Amino acid sequence: MCGGTVTGDLIAFTVNWGSAITTWAGHGVFDLNNQPQILTLWHLVLSIADETDPQKQWETVMAGADTFFR
């Protein structure tokens, strides 16, 4: 399951992988060759095996950056 939204040059979308969810948020730009790109930051969270362990809670959160292009 996935969904998203766009307003102006801003974009956000989410993918539910079943035991994890990833969200991307960013904006559309043009590179030096005038080709469209989407620059995003992402967060991925996994299901927590032990919800009472604070260390495990943060081990299941990841972040990064992606560039999408044709």
Distance between CA 28 and CA 16 in Å, rounded? Answer: 23
- The predicted pLDDT at position 51 comes to 78
Closest CA to 25 of 7, 46, 10: 10
For 17-65, how does the pLDDT look when each residue is reduced to its tens digit (9 = 90+)?
999 999 999 999 999 999 999 999 999 999 987 778 877 778 889 999 9
Contact (CB, 8 A) for 28 and 38: yes
Domains of the chain are 2-69 (2.40.128.30)
What pLDDT band is residue 2 in, cutting at 50, 70 and 90?
Answer: confident
Distance between CA 13 and CA 4 in Å, rounded? Answer: 4
Distance between CA 21 and CA 15 in Å, rounded? Answer: 6
Give this prediction's pTM. 0.84
- The predicted pLDDT at position 57 comes to 79
